[in-house]
Amino acid sequence: MRFEYLLKLNDLQEASDVSSIYSPVKVVKSVKNILIAYGILFLIFILILLSKGNGVPPKAWTVLVFNFLILSVASCAVACILVLQNRFLVKRAWNNSTDDFKHEICVETNEIGIKIITARSESIMQYSVYTYWQETSSLFIIYYQDGSLYNIIPKTAFSDEDRVSEFRQLLIANIPSKRKKG
């Protein structure tokens, strides 16, 4: 199978979102878990205060609620900063790239591996080098080494859905899957 494509900034951002620990989905999930933990601590402190028998002094309520709100807002702010930083780094990599991202990429596959040809390089990687692959709604992401490096194949590289299915079957047959639709 042979196909060609141009990467777009959106492809790079989507691959980063799927692969990065600072992806919006992973960050939101982490913040949700942190807020649940804060809520549990909040309830424990309320129960401790109520168990004193004299009621809860207004000052204690104020301090407790204020601390809960500060921790929640700080967690959300840190999450936003991490997501925005990741977006900024991807865009900076795109803008500062040595045109590797911005030229046509040619891919050839066979029974041994995947050959990727760009204007500046040519590499042939056996399927055994790849550790796993993922599929999103618009990309195939094929990871190698420890999973920190990957090749991005946009589905727009294929002429039709049959070619997308053919490439998917090639991946299924040769590389372990960690597929996520999204």
Q: Which pLDDT tens digit goes with each residue over 91-105?
A: 887 787 766 667 889
pLDDT of amino acid 31: 81
| Cβ–Cβ < 8 Å for 181, 137 | yes
* Residue range 112-137: mean pLDDT, rounded: 92
* Residue range 48-60: mean pLDDT, rounded: 73
Q: At what angle do helices 58-96 and 24-51 cross, to 10 degrees?
A: 170
Cα diameter, the chain: 77
Domain 2-10+99-174 has CATH 2.30.30: no
* Residue range 114-125: mean pLDDT, rounded: 91
The candidate with the shortest Cα–Cα distance to 114, out of 100, 128, 132, is: 128
Kindly provide the residue ranges of all beta strands, DSSP E only, lying in 64-109, ordered along the sequence: 105-109
* Residue 181's pLDDT band (cuts 50, 70, 90): very low
Rounded to the nearest angstrom, the gap between the alpha carbon of residue 106 and the centroid of all alpha carbons in its chain is 25
Instruction: List the domain boundaries for the chain.
Output: 2-10+99-174, 20-96
* Residue 21's pLDDT band (cuts 50, 70, 90): low
Bin 61: left if φ > 0, else alpha if -120 < ψ < 50, else beta: alpha
DSSP H helix total and E strand total for the chain: 4, 7
pLDDT of amino acid 56: 67
- Six-digit token string for 107: 């891919």
Q: Which residue has the tokens 């204690």?
A: 60
pLDDT of amino acid 129: 93
- Six-digit token string for 19: 């692969």
AA identity, residue 6:
L
pLDDT of amino acid 170: 95
Q: Is the pLDDT of residue 179 over 60?
A: no
Question: Beta 113-117 vs 130-135: how paired, if at all?
Answer: unpaired
Q: How many CA atoms lie within 13 A of 58 on its CB side?
A: 0
Check: pTM over 0.75? Answer yes or no: no
Instruction: Report pLDDT digits (tens) over 150-172.
Output: 899 999 999 999 999 999 999 99
From CA 61, how far away is CA 64, in angstroms rounded?
5
From CA 101, how far away is CA 118, in angstroms rounded?
9
